[in-house]
Structure 1
């Protein structure tokens, strides 16, 4: 057929891999670039089902796309076309993007597809996604201790407030401040002070439950969230943390203790706020300092 011959010559000079299938999904035309992309000789592919270029687990799904394309008659331009996995003759799977157009020859319908190897673009997208995730994590992480920072703590606490309101899930908030930390910095220097903060952060994290959230929200201030905890549960966890850290500080002859405040939230009808809960826990911690330090006080809400 002269028209088909002309089309076959045309797709050999375009800058993309190209193929044409009939309504049965059989390959009736393709160019050398397409054959090279998939690792075949042209003659190996002509007359074959399009399935030969697809992983077995997506063939049926793709067949429905082909039927829908012939039924709708809608062209899919590059950049708005399909992205899916192709399969080379070696069995290697790779990402491709295709542009689809309808072609009518001698009263028969065909689909003309221009195919691009999307591997590099996919790798670039994955790299950008990983970098964005890394930047997101850095924005929520305290650089000195590796704990969550104040921003991360606020987000986490907002979620717990929402879950209490929606599901009735109680939680507790702890506020921890190191006693006499300024004396450490003035006596031993800021490098030693940073080391103590790192040790304290590690001890808090390991002393809390796996489901608890721990953050450094200020210079020597830490905060914790204890999802599902009763007030008694939270006090028990925080007192265990306090005892462990004070023992460690005494062994290293560092004059540091902990004052802690804790507040408990269990009323789903109440409109708690992050600022309110931090203020209450902070006030309880301040009372602990005023009444001798190195103890836990419970906030009134």
Structure 2
């Protein structure tokens, strides 16, 4: 507490800012949470001297403000904890990309667009098991991290890339006429070897994709993702390191 009925003579006085009304009397009361000061209330220029009774009279107000400050801190901590838990639940730890769960949830945002077409694609690292067998899982992890980085760097901020599991990534591209093409993504991965702790490793990917038209149905996302998987299977069967498309609007079955 600061009780100064002669503010200019108080040992802590540093004067007042330019243009500030003069302080004839001053009472400063601390707002505390668990003994720690988190704020102050300042009163000035009472007609009579401030007394300790004034401070005692205002103590319930200080307690209430302290409780409000505490509640605010608790709410901030709760919000931070929720955000952290959500991040952990939706993020692949190794690549820092969204995980499969987050990918599926965010697909809804693409289907919610009423006009612009978009594409769903599945990207799979070719011969990834051989990388693990030849170099070890540490190098395999480094390859996954670099592929994830190259994919996310090549896409726009409103596109989506996620790690679906293992060596497989999911991609959604808005307005595919203007987006980087999947062929560009494929070339981006193959352009330079991945520099790992065991040396350079050549990496390619196969990509299967399906175009989702503007006349789409939100509950068709599983079918569309399956079409992309089928196109990926065809890319693998035809020699890998290539992009293959499947058009749901032209298909009558999954064969």
| CA pair 35-211 structure 1, distance change in 2 beyond 3 A | closer
* Matches of 1:126 and 1:250, distance apart in 2: 42
Deviation per CA, 1:29-61, whole angstroms, max 9, x where unpaired?
xxxxx9665535698399xxxxxxxxxxxxxxx
**Where do 1:200-279 residues align within 5 Å?**
200-230=147-177, 233=178, 236-249=180-193, 253-279=200-226
Deviation per CA, 1:109-166, whole angstroms, max 9, x where unpaired?
xxxxx84322122112101211111111111100000001001100111221122xxx
Partner of 1:177: 124
Please list every run of at least 4 consecutive aligned residues from structure 1 whose deviation after the TM superposition is greater than 6 angstroms.
none
Superposition RMSD on alpha carbons, in Å? 2.9
**Do the aligned partners of 2:112 and 2:218 also contact (CA within 8 Å) in 1?**
no
Partner of 2:53: none
Q: Tell me: higher relative CO, structure 1 or 2? Use CA pairs within 8 A at least 6 residues apart.
A: 2
Partner of 1:158: 108
Partner of 1:134: 84
* Matches of 1:139 and 1:150, distance apart in 2: 10
Aligned residues: 199
* Matches of 1:147 and 1:291, distance apart in 2: 29
Matched position secondary structure for 1:273: helix
> Deviation of residue 268 (structure 1)?
2.3
* Matches of 2:235 and 2:29, distance apart in 1: 76
1:124 equivalent to 2:74? Answer yes
> Deviation of residue 250 (structure 1)?
7.4
Higher helix share: 1
Deviation per CA, 1:167-199, whole angstroms, max 9, x where unpaired?
223211111001100000011000000000000
Partner of 1:44: 46
**Do the aligned partners of 2:94 and 2:145 also contact (CA within 8 Å) in 1?**
yes
Matched position secondary structure for 1:225: strand
**Do the aligned partners of 1:262 and 1:284 also contact (CA within 8 Å) in 2?**
yes
**Do the aligned partners of 2:108 and 2:218 also contact (CA within 8 Å) in 1?**
no
1:280 to 227, 240, 254: 227
* Structure 2 unaligned regions, length at least 5: 1-27, 32-39, 49-59, 249-255
